[in-house]
Structure 1
């Protein structure tokens, strides 16, 4: 049992970088990086700041998926985030999970 748990942990840890690379590539392909960066404000907030602001909130994932799909206004100041009509629900979830995983 212990060996299986260790193997599972190692497999998960090995897949984490791939998840981050896939999500980062997705963010680039959907033009998210035109307004956002991982660790600095561009037009919108840095993804690390988003993760920090929403840390521990039960509905963070749902709120952020909605913001990606429908846009948002007033959360980070006067500049609205436009809806991204080229992002599917599954892609929005992948992007949001990646953002919320940032420390």
Structure 2
């Protein structure tokens, strides 16, 4: 019985790890200096970004590019600077942002 409970706990942890890991990555890469999960700071909340781009084809790739290169205009005239993240980190962050509810 203890083995079954331990195995279920391990599976649950593994299922939650990608979202948690991305939130941790967002904090590590200073995304949280300008963004929050559920409220506007300097930039839009991750929840608002996910809602605006829900269901749009190739949006994860477009967001990953914007994370790496920065941009201006999609959310007003305050520019988002380029971020020091790898292409893989940018993809992971973009995929996570699009899941925030």
* Cα-to-partner distance string for 1:51-92 (whole Å, 9 max, x where unaligned): 0001010021111011100001100001010001x2000000
RMSD (Å), alpha carbons: 1.7
Give unmatched runs, 5+ long, in structure 2: 1-9
Q: Which residue of 2 aligns with 1:4?
A: none
Show the counterpart of 1:61. Answer: 60
Consecutive unaligned residues of structure 1, counting only runs of 5 or more, are: 1-10
SS of aligned partner of 2:40: coil
Structure 1 residue 14, shift from structure 2 partner:
4.6
Call closer, same or farther: CA 1:26–1:62 in 2, change over 3 Å. Answer: same
Runs of 4+ aligned residues of structure 1 deviating over 2 Å after TM superposition are: 11-16
TM-score of the pair, normalised by structure 2: 0.84
Structure 1 equivalent of residue 6 of structure 2: none
- TM-score scaled by length of structure 1: 0.83
Q: 1:16 to 1:40 in 2, by over 3 A?
A: farther
CA deviation after TM superposition for structure 1 residue 16, in Å = 3.5
